[in-house]
Amino acid sequence: MKFEGLRVRDLMRTEVKTINKDAELAEAARMMYESRLASLVIKPEDDSDAFGILTRKDIFEALLLDGTGECSSRVEDMMSKPAITVTPGLSIENCLRLMRVAGARRLPVVEGTKLLGIITSTDIFDRIVSSKC
Q: How many CB atoms lie within 10 A of CB 117?
A: 20
pTM for this predicted structure: 0.87
- In this prediction, residue 19 carries a pLDDT of 96
Give the integer Cα–Cα distance in Å for 37 and 18.
11
- In this prediction, residue 102 carries a pLDDT of 95
- In this prediction, residue 127 carries a pLDDT of 87
- In this prediction, residue 132 carries a pLDDT of 66
Domain residue spans of the chain: 8-132
> Could you tell me the mean pLDDT of each successive run of 10 residues in the chain, 133 residues long?
82 96 93 95 90 92 70 84 96 96 96 94 88 65
What is the tally of helices (H) and strands (E) in the chain?
6, 4
Give the integer Cα–Cα distance in Å for 108 and 87.
9
- In this prediction, residue 46 carries a pLDDT of 86
The domain 8-132 is placed in CATH, from the list 3.40.640.10, 3.10.580.10, 3.40.50.150, 3.30.70.3420, at: 3.10.580.10
